[in-house]
Amino acid sequence: MVSIKDIAKQAGVSISTVSYALNGSPKVTKETSARILAIAKELNYIPSAAARSLKKRETKIIGIYLTDYSGAFYGQLLQGMMETLSENGYELIVCSGKESHRFLPERMIDGAIILDATYKTEELLSHAERGHKLVVMDRRMDHSNISQVLLDNKAGATLAIDYLAEKGHQKIYVVKGPDISFDAMQRLEAVQKAVQRYSQIEYIELQGDFNKLSGEAAAKRVHQEFSEPVGVFCLNDEMAIGMYNYFSRTNLRVGEDVHIIGFDNIEVSQYVQPRLATINYSKHKWGALASELLLNLIKKQKNEHERINVSLIEGDSVRNR
Amino acid sequence: MVSIKDIAKQAGVSISTVSYALNGSPKVTKETSARILAIAKELNYIPSAAARSLKKRETKIIGIYLTDYSGAFYGQLLQGMMETLSENGYELIVCSGKESHRFLPERMIDGAIILDATYKTEELLSHAERGHKLVVMDRRMDHSNISQVLLDNKAGATLAIDYLAEKGHQKIYVVKGPDISFDAMQRLEAVQKAVQRYSQIEYIELQGDFNKLSGEAAAKRVHQEFSEPVGVFCLNDEMAIGMYNYFSRTNLRVGEDVHIIGFDNIEVSQYVQPRLATINYSKHKWGALASELLLNLIKKQKNEHERINVSLIEGDSVRNR
DNA sequence: TATAATAAAGGAAACGTTTGCAACAAGAGA
DNA sequence: TCTCTTGTTGCAAACGTTTCCTTTATTATA
């Protein structure tokens, strides 16, 4: 492997001069610099990232921690992150695998964005304590080395309940998410508050884990207890789609017997029949903002707390009772 | 930052002994080793990935190059890769950003899986020439440092045309993919061969780039030229969904006037109405196999060529003429 | 002309590991 | 008692950079 040492020898200069030249430092004259660069190109020189990051203590890479890749959901999110980071000379890597939590402490990445409920909060805190920079998207944390950008789950959940109520639904099921999920808990809390405002509403909670299968299971419960048209708020679209799957095999019709609204507005939601009513927000913006905050944290040592707005998307999955 | 040097000082041994102990070498006695490990833990020692990889010339990380993250498509693929790699002590990172192509030459990753048509073949070849290990999923390459695992596009495209023909369609549109895509070209080639077997078939090619919008554009063409029921083979599902979007705004009905079959069996395809007929294959297996071949390449220096089987999924988007 | 200031280049340490080799002690065999 | 193993530990070089500090050469100033 050709190193700056080889270039130095070839050019008849010292390795420090080569290093300066390669980094475009004004300390070395135009001519020497040009000569060195030419030789570097000729020798097919490729810098060693390991050596550089060992010395400079930075990698210009930031990591995003996700629970799972699935769902078209993440595509836009990552796209948003990438753009912001790329513009600032950073690369984005998606961290997966059971050992990837070591990326941050072992300094393979300069910072991390967390969207992975399984990552322990204490562990994140200890990273921050050690001086690492983080942005959390899936929990609330207050630390000078941590910024956060969260969805406005409360507003979203309230919109959903209001929508069902407005359409005249008085019996409302809520399919919950996993306890470990901050978003799920926030949404649930808001739901509980919202239904209290409607004295006539009968409100029932059903188990759920944000996956399709649990949506199907919840649908089964609803089916068994069915006597009159009901409203259902699935705390995410994934489970709502699971419900569609179930009801397509029964005599109950979505939008007639069972009125469903979801949360997230994932891609499939606009293609199912009838179109799923849901709560929307810009995944792209969410990702971009998270990256921006991380860069601010790294460059300006400034931590911030931001919120992503949500809005209601109407759909024929919820009609008047 | 605490290094093995600090541990050595604290333990009163040399740094080499610490290194051996940390790596579980049998060269150091159980007692010394235990003492060293205890001190390491106490000092909160964290190894430096940069230093290690500088010395060992390996990172235990492999990279996957994707064109874009979008599409639930990639979720399963990555899942398959992760599992195989994780089991073997490797981490997977998804390489994105305009500078990520440097990951391989600068030795940030030990090998790469390529599924990115924009990556130049010559560049890949030069990597291989330098001794880097690759697996390509999106082109054909023959080199001792490159393995390949491709979809059986020919079989898939043939199945699709046969299906349309079998259902009695005599006028068949094919919505092409981008020229840069190996899969698109292989599928198209197979289509051209397949239609020759049916003398009565009138066959028309339409432009496409694998994205929804181009599917919509193609649908518009079909609409304008419409006089009798036609068959359409979209070279991927994404474009087929684009066609659905377009036709939902017209008086033409999918599965009645326009009979569509796609390729890939992405998630939405099973939710659109009517269900999209398509060509299926296991994304999980594709990813897992690619990883396996890469590991073989790294460990046993053995390059292989594999193929992923495809199958037809029937759907009401194609009915008898 | 002597001196100071400026510009260009080189020397060498440091970043944190790994690893071949040398050193040393202790016990075994002769 | 002497040499030979065997087992345990230490020394030091190397991996490829960056960067602080000198040294040397050049030009400007008094």
- What is the DSSP code string of B249-277? TSS--BTTTEEEE-SS--GGGGTSSSPPB
| CA atom of B29 to C1′ atom of D3, Å | 26
Check: CB of residue B233 under 8 Å from CB of residue B160. Answer: yes
| CA atom of A17 to C1′ atom of D21, Å | 14
Closest CA to B283 of B267, B303, B302: B267
Specify the DSSP class assigned to residue A274. Answer: S
CATH superfamily of A57-152+283-310: Response regulator (3.40.50.2300)
Q: Is the CB of A23 under 7 A from strand D?
A: yes
* pLDDT for residue B76: 85
- A302's CB contacts (< 8 A; 6+ apart) are A296
Share of chain A above pLDDT 90, in %: 89
Range A310-316 average pLDDT: 97
Report the side by side order of strands in the sheet with B202-206: B202-206, B171-175, B230-234, B258-261
CB contact under 8 A, B106 and A48: yes
Instruction: List, for residues A251-297, the tens digit of each pLDDT value.
Output: 999 999 999 999 999 989 999 999 999 999 999 999 999 999 999 99
Specify the DSSP class assigned to residue B101. Answer: G
List where CATH 3.40.50.2300 sits in chain A: 57-152+283-310, 153-280
- B225's CB contacts (< 8 A; 6+ apart) are none
Strand pairing partners for B151? B308
Residue A146 sits at φ, ψ, to 5 deg, of -130, 125
The answer to whether B108 faces chain A, any CB pair under 8 Å, is yes
| CA atom of B21 to C1′ atom of C28, Å | 28
Check: CB of residue A142 under 8 Å from CB of residue A92. Answer: no
CB contact under 8 A, A271 and B46: no
**Reduced 3-state DSSP string for B28-39:** CCHHHHHHHHHH
List where CATH 1.10.260.40 sits in chain A: 4-47
d(CA B278, CA B286): 18
The answer to whether A107 faces chain B, any CB pair under 8 Å, is yes
Check: CB of residue A7 under 8 Å from CB of residue A39. Answer: yes
Chain B interface, best mutation among A1, A44, A54, A90, by max B CB count within 10 A: A54
d(CA B58, CA B199): 58
3-state DSSP call for residue B113?
Answer: strand
* pLDDT for residue A71: 59
The interface residues of chain A toward chain B in range 138-197, judged by CB-CB distance below 8 A, are none
CATH class entry, domain A4-47:
mainly alpha
Residue A249: Cβ-neighbour burial (10 angstroms; 0-12, 13-18, 19+): exposed
Check: CB of residue B319 under 8 Å from CB of residue B255. Answer: yes
Nucleotide of closest approach to A8 (CA, C1'): C10
Q: Which residue of A has its CA nearest to B275?
A: A272
3-state DSSP call for residue B18?
Answer: helix
A73 has a pLDDT exceeding 80 = no
Segment (H or E) for A157: helix A153-166
* Cβ contacts of A8-16, under 8 Å, gap ≥ 24: A10/A39, A10/A43, A11/A35, A11/A36, A11/A39
* pLDDT, one tens digit for every residue, chain B (321 residues): 899 999 999 999 999 999 999 999 888 999 999 999 999 999 999 999 999 999 999 999 999 998 866 555 678 898 899 999 999 999 999 887 888 899 999 999 999 999 999 999 999 999 999 999 999 999 999 999 999 999 999 999 999 999 999 999 999 999 999 999 999 999 999 999 999 999 999 999 999 999 999 999 999 999 999 999 999 999 999 999 999 999 999 999 999 999 999 999 998 999 999 999 999 999 999 999 999 999 999 998 899 999 999 999 999 999 998
CA A218 and chain centroid, separation: 26
* pLDDT for residue A300: 87
The interface residues of chain A toward chain B in range 26-55, judged by CB-CB distance below 8 A, are 46-51, 53-54
* Å between A315 CA and nearest CA of chain B: 15
* Å between B163 CA and nearest CA of chain A: 25
* pLDDT for residue B68: 67
C-alpha distances (whole Å) from A16 to each of A23, A24, A25, A56 are 11, 12, 11, 15
Please list the alpha-helical segments (H only) found in chain B. Answer: 4-11, 15-22, 30-42, 49-56, 73-87, 121-129, 153-166, 182-196, 212-224, 237-247, 283-300
Nucleotide of closest approach to A30 (CA, C1'): C8
Range A74-91 average pLDDT: 91
Q: Which of residues 3-22 of A touch strand D (CB under 7 A)?
A: 3-5, 15-16, 19-20, 22
How many residue contacts between A and B have a Cβ separation below 8 Å? 122
| CA atom of B312 to C1′ atom of C21, Å | 64
List where CATH 3.40.50.2300 sits in chain B: 58-152+283-308, 153-280
Chain B interface, best mutation among A48, A90, A244, by max B CB count within 10 A: A48
CB contact under 8 A, B68 and A53: no
* B268 → closest Cβ in A92, A268, A273: A268
d(CA A42, CA A130): 43
One-letter amino acid at B191 equals V
d(CA A315, CA A270): 9
The interface residues of chain B toward chain A in range 254-273, judged by CB-CB distance below 8 A, are 267-268, 271-273
* pLDDT for residue A177: 96
Where does A153-280 sit in CATH, by number?
3.40.50.2300
| CA atom of B7 to C1′ atom of D3, Å | 38
| CA atom of A50 to C1′ atom of D11, Å | 25
CATH of B58-152+283-308, one of 3.40.50.2300, 3.30.70.270, 3.40.50.720, 3.30.1330.60: 3.40.50.2300
3-state DSSP call for residue B321?
Answer: coil
Could you tell me the pLDDT band of residue A1, with boundaries at 50, 70 and 90? Answer: confident
3-state DSSP call for residue B203?
Answer: strand
The answer to whether B75 faces chain A, any CB pair under 8 Å, is yes
Closest CA to A272 of A260, A282, A280: A260
